[in-house]
Structure formats: C-alpha cells, structure tokens
Amino acid sequence: MDLSQKEWTSNQVENKASIILDVRTPEEYDSGHILSAQLLDIRNPQGFMEGIAQLDTTKTYYVYCRSGARSAQACQLLKQQGITDCFNLLGGILDWSGETTI
C-alpha cells in the first residue's frame, strides 16, 4: 500500500515494532538515509531475495527508495514472500522532509 509521508510516518511511529527498509544501493544509503533504516538493495536480486527470506513475516515493514518506484516493487516482492504488512513511501527520500543520517 502506498502512503504519503504523513501517513507513513504516523503509522510507523504508532507501530513500535515496525522496521524501516531502504531498498536503494549501498552508495545511495551511505549518502543519507532515514533514521534506523535497514539496507536491503533491490538492485542486487539474489541478495535482496535472501534478505527477504530472513525477515520476520509477523512484523510490519515501511519501505522506501529514491522516488518510490523501487520500493513499490519491493513491497510486491515482500507480499509474494508472505509479508502482508508492508507500506511504500510515496515520493521516496526525494520528497522526505524528516530527519536523515549518514
């Protein structure tokens, strides 16, 4: 499900056990990412699928990328692997106005 930044942030804050996934490349991640985000590079298909297999299917995942396209694709893949609670950040980090860290 696609969420605006306001919806994405408020839902993520309410769900303390949720996990933020950054599906960009390591270089993009290192240039700045949302606080406490875990990197899972969708452009590395084998590593991405292996990473998904390690995820807890009972958790809720908030997923973002640069503009929202890769994270939308990532959410589809997560759902195919049995993770039903995943949310895509519309506009990605390009439209993000919250805190980031390097």
Confirm whether 102 is domain-assigned.
Answer: no
pLDDT in tens, the chain (102 residues): 999 999 999 999 899 889 999 999 999 999 999 999 999 999 999 999 999 999 999 999 999 999 999 999 999 999 999 999 999 999 999 999 888 888
Report the predicted TM-score, pTM, of the whole model to 2 decimal places.
0.94
Identify whether 67 is part of a domain: yes
Domain carrying residue 52: 2-97
The total of structural domains in the chain comes to 1
Res 49: pLDDT: 96
Tell me, what's the pLDDT at 3? Answer: 95
Q: Are 68 and 90 in contact (CB under 8 A)?
A: yes
81 occurs within a structural domain: yes
Cross-strand bridge partners of residue 18: none
Q: Is residue 56 part of a domain?
A: yes
**Residues with Cβ within 8 Å of residue 58, at least 6 apart in sequence:** none
Q: Which CATH number goes with the domain that contains 28?
A: 3.40.250.10
